[in-house]
Structure 1
């Protein structure tokens, strides 16, 4: 295991909450100082400073883009030159290193602001590419569920990916829910006629 992976995978399990709750916090978890544009810009700036230091430590080159998307700060590490493969070390197999790095970055922001953050991190366009693949997967599963009339369980995936699938399934007119515990939590796509609350009886 190289130094980069060791550094990024050293996050304690109880500090990484990759659940849908991080994407849709309850009212009592809302940031104390709100999520105004200036607040989100502050989160992005803190994250960028943290990531720049990390890039120096692991000796990787990359530019950092800061944006605000869907009411949250969005930070992306992009290659200085297109096609540069080195940043893939910050993504890891199936995005595992990226998920750990995102949690570390959120903790760094929280340490300075005192509040939890829903900041999203992407590296080398991994999440954008993954989103497209997940939307296609959701479409295929929806088609099969409509044909068979039976629920279908997907492979376990992190919170970001589950949310993409849930949104795609809802857009297609079917229902979906998550089941299981991290890191084995997965999406279940349900037939349109089956209500999750009714099925729990």
Structure 2
């Protein structure tokens, strides 16, 4: 197991155990940690963008790369034509590229990343499709009362479905099974 503590965290731990911190100091520390956290996220998105740009060059694909932070996680979006091969069937290639990019971030920072990679707007369009699948499953559950098992999905896809189902009263969802056959079951709420 790798020690992930930094000299800065050791110093702050020692300082906090030696003298009680005032409420004002505590607030300053929280703000500092938030700023550091956002700067770390931005650094991760920069590393990811550089890595993806290198891949595009090697593969001879053209695309514009946008770096951003959304929902507390770094994101890289690649926009352009002819990018479908980088998405693959049902996003399989995109998921693999995302994992490779996360590994590049880990190698550079020593910290795991929750980077979200999107290519050609695939994730946004897939979210819309999955919302329709979720609403359809909810309608079936409300109409017949029987649980509905959906097809196996990636973690990204399952989260999209869970978010839609959890926003509707009277139903609930849960994941079952083991990757790569993990799926969602939608049923009436207890």
TM-score range, shorter chain: 0.7 to 0.9
Q: TM-score, normalised by structure 1?
A: 0.76
Partner of 1:77: 78
Give the Cα separation in 2 of the matches to 1:105 and 1:135.
27
Q: Count residues with an aligned counterpart.
A: 158
2:84 matches 1:88: yes
* C-alpha spacing 1:115/1:176, structure 2 compared with 1 (3 Å): same
Deviations 1:146-179 (A, max 9, x none): 1111111000010000000001000012211101
Give the aligned partner of residue 65 of structure 2: 64
Stretches (4+) displaced over 4 A: 31-35
Q: Could you say what secondary structure the match of 2:83 adopts?
A: helix
Q: Does 1:97 align with 2:74?
A: no
TM-score (norm 2): 0.80
Cα RMSD after superposing both structures: 1.4
Q: Name the residue aligned to 2:162.
A: 166
Question: Which has the larger helix fraction?
Answer: 2
Measured after TM superposition, the shift of residue 37 of structure 1 is 1.1
Matched residue SS, 1:182: coil
Structure 2 distance, partners of 1:158, 1:175, is 19
Over 3 Å counting, the alpha-carbon distance change for 1:103 and 1:40 in structure 2 is same
Uncovered stretches (5+) of structure 1, i.e. residues with no partner: 1-30, 194-201
The structure that has the greater radius of gyration is 2
Q: Secondary structure at the match of 2:103?
A: helix
- Answer yes or no: is 1:186 the counterpart of 2:183: yes
User: Runs of 5+ in structure 2 lacking a partner?
Assistant: 7-32
Deviations 1:79-128 (A, max 9, x none): 1xxxx2x1101000111000000000000001011011101000000000
Superposed displacement of residue 192, structure 1 = 1.7
Deviation at 1:32, TM superposition (A): 6.2
